[in-house]
Structure 1
């Protein structure tokens, strides 16, 4: 396949939304800002942010929705997809990233991975402390 692969680093700019489709699939979407920063004349200078729409499907989408929030620093890797349509007879194009991997950007902090228990496996039993009589 000749897909265009892209990796973005930036910050989530709003709420992550999760939609459950009638066929059982799920899709999470969010907007993220990528702001270039350059060191010029002894100081860090921020450039103009670019905004991107990111979609994550099925298991990845569910994990994204339960793990990420507005203003989190993230790294996103996926396919760049163009959507082309006409409005008033003029061609319009928008781009989105269909994610294959999403995670916190660990250059800004730490995170803990929690693996969900598959539905086919019983949850481990937790030993309850004895009660005093």
Structure 2
């Protein structure tokens, strides 16, 4: 748990994969019985790496200063600086990343599936009409009328059954 020190950085690979890195500052507190009060520990910085869809969602969702919770595989990196000294950093290969709702609220939005994105004519900006025979003339994207959002349908059936 910590705060994003900057906006996430994106990296694209030749094969189309994407990764993101966001650095978080971790400030933990402890009860110091010698002064009978809480004290801050040293701030640790962790480089959190995400790949593929998680990376896309991090890039679209995380901004500098926001409180985050991340889980994954913890590791270290070691390198030699220009001054000849050896340096270390903490890294987390993330499995999940989210906002810490202790400090605010969030709204969850699923990204569209590729199959749900209409085919657009790049010259005119119009939606191409690829409707299959027998349905959805004029919609231009394969007939969304009559389709039921499965998540909404599942939620409605749960409400109806209770």
Give the TM-score normalised by structure 2.
0.62
Alignment map for 1:55-94 (pairs within 5 Å): 55-84=49-78, 93-94=88-89
CA distance in 2, matches of 1:90, 1:45: 31
* CA separation of 1:100 and 1:86: change in aligned 2, threshold 3 A: same
* 3-state SS, counterpart of residue 59 of structure 1: helix
- 2:102 corresponds, among 86, 107, 115, to 107
Displacement of 1:14? 1.1
Deviations 1:98-118 (A, max 9, x none): 100000001111111100110
2:45 and 2:90 in contact (8 A); partners too: no
* Alignment gaps of 5+ in structure 1: 1-8, 126-133
Between the two proteins, the alignment pairs up a number of residues equal to 117
CA distance in 2, matches of 1:86, 1:47: 27
* CA separation of 1:71 and 1:86: change in aligned 2, threshold 3 A: closer
Matched, 1:29 2:29: no
Question: Rg larger in 1 or in 2?
Answer: 2
Deviations 1:75-99 (A, max 9, x none): 0001113345567998765431110
Which has the larger share of strand? 1
* 3-state SS, counterpart of residue 114 of structure 2: coil
Matched, 1:17 2:9: yes
Q: Which moved more, 1:61-70 or 1:76-85?
A: 76-85
* CA separation of 1:48 and 1:81: change in aligned 2, threshold 3 A: closer
Displacement of 1:36? 1.0
* Higher relative contact order (CA closer than 8 Å, sequence separation 6+): 1
* CA separation of 1:87 and 1:32: change in aligned 2, threshold 3 A: closer
CA distance in 1, matches of 2:31, 2:103: 18
